[in-house]
Amino acid sequence: MMDDLSGKTVLIMASDGFEEVELTGPRERLSQAGARVVIASPTLEPIQARVMDDPTIKVQPDVRIEEVDAGDYDALVLPGGVINPDHLRTNETAVQLVRDFDEAKKPVAAICHGPWMLVEADVLRGRKATSWPSIRTDMRNAGANVVDEAACVDGHLITSRNPDDVPDFCAAIGRALAG
């Protein structure tokens, strides 16, 4: 059970190709704890989830990334899936949002391949983080101290390895939001 997160607003940034449970898990758990959860995407078209490589559900974004102001949110969640962060890291507005949340010392939570956004935003130097195994070299090259933990917390930065870590990932986000 998470602390009461009433009054908190969380931004989940995703595009087509996100790993389903890495978006739906945090959205459901944070909402159940009372947080308002907003999905941002490059367009307002429904975005396609995947489980591993297979398409599953579609999710309706609430807002376009270009309309987001980090000052309106208490935390940022970055789901993985290979396609999703690889697409978002080419969107300068999305990358700048990661920097804005980090500079404001608001919780930034990335799971699986989601830390690619942290690499692109250049916010990993000297920080402890984890990810899906195949992007750990990218993280090391970006200056991270890479570890293998279900939910790695370094200040306001929260990272996790894979879909199996969603419960620990969500618990860490909840603790960070609860203060």
pLDDT tens-digit readout, 34-68: 999 999 999 999 999 999 889 999 999 999 999 99
Catalytic, out of 27, 50, 113, 127: 113
User: Above pLDDT 90, what percent of the chain?
Assistant: 97
Domain 9-178 listed as CATH 3.40.50.880? yes
Res 1: pLDDT: 64
In this structure, what token pair is assigned to residue 15? 């595009």
Does 156 qualify as catalytic in the annotation?
Answer: no
Q: Where are the domains of the chain?
A: 9-178
CA atoms of 31 and 175, how far apart (whole Å): 14
Helices (H), the chain: 20-32, 83-88, 92-103, 116-121, 136-141, 166-178
